[in-house]
Amino acid sequence: MIGLASSARLCLNGISTAAGEGIVFHDKNDLEKARLSMVERQLAQRGITDQRVLQAMRDVPRHRFVPQDLWDMAYRDTPLSIGHEQTISQPYIVGYMTQMLHLSQDHRVLEVGTGSGYQAAVLSRLAKQVYTIERVPDLAQRAEQILQELGYANIQIRIGDGGYGWPEAAPFDAIIVTAAAPKVPPPLIAQLAEAASLIAPIGRAGYQELVRVTKHGDCTQVEHLVPVAFVPLVGEHGWRERDPSAGGNDIFR
Ligand code: SAM
């Protein structure tokens, strides 16, 4: 255990900052130790058994995908804010969803909801090519920059409504939706390859189930996995965009 608990004084990149509870980091090695500990305690000990997934999450520096003032929290068992009211998902959920896709090195994968770019980076370690769509331009641009800096070359990012998928690149061997929808967007099912699976949080505000949909010809097999709480998929196949003049949050209608 590297960490110290509450009222610790944190050092990030050599800059000492007063902070609340958390792990104390002094340098890159501490971040790496925290990452290895995250994989062991939050993933392996909780049933993530796919060694390729575990290794990908040991390799991808999660802290680089969150704002620098949150680096000390990057390996905690929690989602974190990435701005624009969006989040980077909890590490366990990233590992779980990735494991449930059973990716191979020759697979082409679509992600809907790039967010920070972290999930795309993990997928890129396990598949041949990752296509990822984000509706918030600023997030897409930040993700693209960090993915470039880290040298992940097999990821293409598009700005837009991911509910429509990426028809020119279809069919996909796997699709992962990382924002909550009321139902699985039909265009995404259409863009699955035969026997391929899609995983998505489906439900209402604050409560969804992860579902895995596998395509068999004109039929689909639907498996209900675990309860989750994701931010909404906003768009044609998701929820209405918030209307500031309405004075409330009507994203989940
Ligand atoms: N996978 C991300 C990561 O690794 O950081 C976390 C995704 S975050 C939980 C959900 C993301 O979905 C947000 O960045 C949000 O802007 C995006 N989103 C919501 N609706 C979308 C849509 N229709 N098309 C594409 N992205 C969408």
Label each residue of the chain as H, E or C: CCCECCCCEEEECCEEEECCCECCCCCHHHHHHHHHHHHHHHHHHHCCCCHHHHHHHHHCCHHHHCCHHHHHHCCCCCCEEEECCEEECCHHHHHHHHHHCCCCCCCEEEEECCCCCHHHHHHHCCCCEEEEEECCHHHHHHHHHHHHHHCCCCEEEEECCHHHCCHHHCCEEEEEECCEECCCCHHHHHCEEEEEEEEEEEEECCEEEEEEEEEECCEEEEEEEEEECCCECECCCCECCCCHHHCCCCCCC
Q: Is residue 2's pLDDT more than 70?
A: no
Residue 246 scores a pLDDT above 50: no
Which of 233, 240, 241, 242 best tests ligand 1's pocket when mutated (most atoms within 8 Å of CB)?
Answer: 233
Residue 70: how many CB atoms within 10 A of its CB?
17
* Residue 3 banded pLDDT, cuts 50, 70, 90: very low
Domain positions in the chain are 8-230
Residue type, 147: L
pLDDT the model gives residue 30: 92
Q: Give the mean pLDDT of 219-248.
A: 84
Q: Look at residue 38 and tell me whether its pLDDT is greater than 60.
A: yes
Per-residue pLDDT tens digits for 51-78: 999 999 999 999 999 999 999 999 999 9
Query: At residue 13, what are phi and psi to the nearest 5 degrees?
Result: 50, 35
Ligand 1: atom nearest CA of 84 is: 16
Q: Which of 54-63, 204-213, 222-231, 233-242 has the lowest mean pLDDT?
A: 233-242
Give the pLDDT band (50/70/90) at residue 242.
Answer: low
**115 CA distance to ligand 1 middle (Å):** 5
Among 134, 145, 164, 228, say which to mutate for ligand 1: greatest number of ligand atoms within 8 Å of CB: 134
Which pLDDT band holds residue 240 (cuts at 50, 70, 90)? confident
Ligand 1 atom closest to Cα of 79?
9
How much is the average pLDDT of 5-24? Answer: 32
Res. 208: pLDDT tops 70: yes
Q: How is domain 8-230 classified at the CATH fold level?
A: Rossmann fold (3.40.50)
- Residue 13 pLDDT exceeds 90: no
Q: How far apart are CA 239 and CA 253, in angstroms?
A: 7
pLDDT digits (tens, 9 = 90+) for 109-150: 999 999 999 999 999 999 999 999 999 999 999 999 999 999
Higher pLDDT, 252 or 90: 90
Q: Pick the closest to residue 121 from 94, 159, 96, 160 (CA basis).
A: 94
Residues with active-site annotation: 89
